[in-house]
Amino acid sequence: PATFPENYVIETTNANKSKVTISYPGAILNVMVKDLYTNDQYHDQDPNDKMKYHVHPENSIFFEVDGPYLAMILPASKEEGKKLKKRYAVFNFDGSLAELKGFEVKRRGELQLIKIFQSSVFEAFLKGESLDEVYASVAKVADYWLDVLYSRAANMPDTELFDLITENRSMSKKLEEYG
């Protein structure tokens, strides 16, 4: 919540740095992750002897407190135990996009269909007062685009369809150089 005290100031006896500010929630989260999820069996190969490994604890997960924000959308993995790419969408309280990472809507060269679908889904996540209402809002968007695909865009003007399924690309060489 916005009212939670994020930073804690510690006064020191060091004349060069009389105060140190730490993020209280960040520090607590990082201690908990370190205590619960550190890999105590991390192996590094000895650079001088390829047959030797050094075992040490390793933890590469660290939290930084940012925000507060209205919402953060993280996709779930399709398979249990499978790693996810860094993908998320973060929304400000006014509904504007604060940060977007890893989605096609951000990339050049992707189909407009995918970009518009993702943008519509992100907006739908902000509608509704309960989890059920949010899911219903997202489902409505997904159903619309499924109908477009299943009907082969029968109710869509050709110009709009071509805008959705064509890809804009910039060529780095002259056309003749591509052979």
Measured between its terminal Cα atoms, the distance across the chain in Å is 59
Q: What is the pLDDT of residue 172?
A: 79
Q: What is the mean pLDDT of the chain?
A: 85
Q: Cα dist. 52→42, 47, 49, 68, 87 in Å?
A: 13, 9, 6, 47, 36
pLDDT digits (tens, 9 = 90+) for 102-147: 887 767 777 888 888 888 998 899 998 899 999 999 999 999 999 9
SS3 of residue 72 by DSSP = strand
Please check whether residue 33 is in contact with residue 25, taking contact to mean a CB–CB distance below 8 angstroms: no
pLDDT digits (tens, 9 = 90+) for 46-61: 999 999 999 999 988 8
Please give the full DSSP string across 100-119, using - where no structure is assigned.
EES-GGGSTTS-HHHHHHHH
Average pLDDT over residues 20-49: 91
